[in-house]
Amino acid sequence: MDHAENELLTRVGPGTAAGETLRKYWLPVGLSTEINSDAPKLVRWLGEDLLLFRDEIGRVGLTEPSCPHRGASLDYGWIEAGGIRCCYHGWVFDVNGRCLEQPGEPPDSSFKDKIRLKAYPVRELGGLLWAYLGSGQPPELPNYHFLVRDDGERRFSGYVRECNYMQQLENALDPVHATILHGRPVHGFSAAPEWMETPDFNVTATDSMAYYVARRKGPESGTEWHREVAYVPPIMVVHHGGSLPGDSVAEVVDVAWRMPIDDYNTRTFTLKCLPGAMVKRGKVEKQARPKPPPLMRGTRRQWDMATINGQDNAAQVSQGPIVDRTREHLGHSDRGVIQVRKLWQSAIERSLQGEDPPNLIRNPTQNHLVHVDVVERLVKSGELRNHVPNIVYVSS
């Protein structure tokens, strides 16, 4: 990869090719539980500083953070009067950026009607806050079944990692790292014992996703670990798509979004969705893992090498804020990494040509229910050999 291609993929600020492509999608900007009507919150997404707040009736706003009157930060504002009131001179703005009040102006003044605070549309779905940071008509917000179903339980977690989002996205389709980095025993215990064997795996890319299918020996003769992982543009990684409502075997959803804060920092939103009628978990065969004591490693920056998160931090953060891909030497085992890059680069190039990038939904009838059919399961040898991960648009 040359320097220009690396810049194309990694730079996400306003006006950049990747940043403008990302702005064509609905993107996660927080958890619903993170914001209430007590106080606003400064956030940063795609290299842009913004203000997140919830008004008295529960609507969520995502706006520029400074009052257009004289530049005071709305982070110190009061949530009242249908929006957020600047602490300095009391101008009030609603979630759509309209100016509702200007206490210092004459009562009959129409000056407020000429003032607008930049604001982005926000919707709540499945416990997440989704924002459309682009211009023009937003696409449909995808109704992934794990966001809209009302049975079961959603469990969120996440973290901020001090590196570019591409270092996390391409890591998802690198099954060999799972063996070397996560399968190695530390204090006698592996963070992921089912990944200790280097897998036999295939990589495939379609117009809408890139994925690998890996096979490893199971714990008993005649069994195999069947693992599929998919990268779904723009920023979703699917480790297990779970089961649809009404399926005979209920399985857990395991997905993550790698959301760029800016060029050098990424927030991961992780969701595990457990169906209420679950009679069997797809990964229930994994035994409870003993928790080894910490093993802190590193001269300048220390990470716990006994945990998966610490191991991934050590690998990805140590590559640098943006890895210099011109210095890499990629081999056959890196073909998943290559496909992630190619798919996202193709999406960016399509966007630059004025076309829709992949996985945008414009037709509401296509958005009844969306399922990413990706499986991880302990199976009998040879089982699921013909399964092909794909995105399924379920009709009503």
Residue 292 confidence (pLDDT): 84
CATH 3.90.380.10-classified regions of the chain: 145-394
Residue 249 confidence (pLDDT): 83
Residue 198 confidence (pLDDT): 78
Residue 196 confidence (pLDDT): 72
Residue 289 confidence (pLDDT): 64
Residue 284 confidence (pLDDT): 44
Residue 322 confidence (pLDDT): 98
* Pick among 3.40.30.10, 3.20.20.70, 3.90.380.10, 3.40.190.10: CATH of 145-394: 3.90.380.10
Of 111, 112, 133, nearest to 122 by C-alpha is: 133
Copy the structure tokens of residue 110.
């129409």
The residue assigned the tokens 């009061």 is 78
Residue 193 confidence (pLDDT): 66
Q: Inter-axis angle of helices 335-352 and 3-10, to 10 degrees?
A: 70
H-run or E-run covering 132: strand 128-132
User: What residue type is 124 in one-letter code?
Assistant: E
Q: Are strands 303-304 and 296-297 parallel, antiparallel or unpaired?
A: antiparallel
**Could you list the pLDDT tens digit for every one of the 396 residues in the chain?**
999 999 999 999 999 999 999 999 999 999 999 999 999 999 999 999 999 999 999 999 999 999 999 999 999 999 999 999 999 999 999 999 999 999 999 999 999 999 999 999 999 999 999 999 999 999 999 999 999 998 889 999 999 999 999 999 999 999 999 889 988 888 887 766 666 777 889 999 999 999 999 988 888 899 998 999 999 999 999 999 999 888 888 899 999 999 999 999 999 999 999 987 553 444 444 455 678 899 999 999 999 999 999 999 999 999 999 999 999 999 999 999 999 999 999 999 999 999 999 999 999 999 999 999 999 989 999 899 899 999 999 987
Q: CA geometry: angle at 203 spanning 197 and 208, to 5°?
A: 135
Round to whole Å and give the CA distance between 40 and 63.
Answer: 11
Q: Dihedral of the CA atoms 212, 215, 218, 224 (nearest 10)?
A: 100
Of 245, 242, 224, 176, nearest to 384 by C-alpha is: 224
* Pick among 3.20.20.70, 3.30.200.20, 1.20.140.10, 2.102.10.10: CATH of 26-132: 2.102.10.10
> % helix / strand / coil in the chain, to the nearest 5?
20, 35, 45
Round to whole Å and give the CA distance between 224 and 384.
Answer: 10
Residue 281 confidence (pLDDT): 45
Residue 24 confidence (pLDDT): 98
CATH 2.102.10.10-classified regions of the chain: 26-132
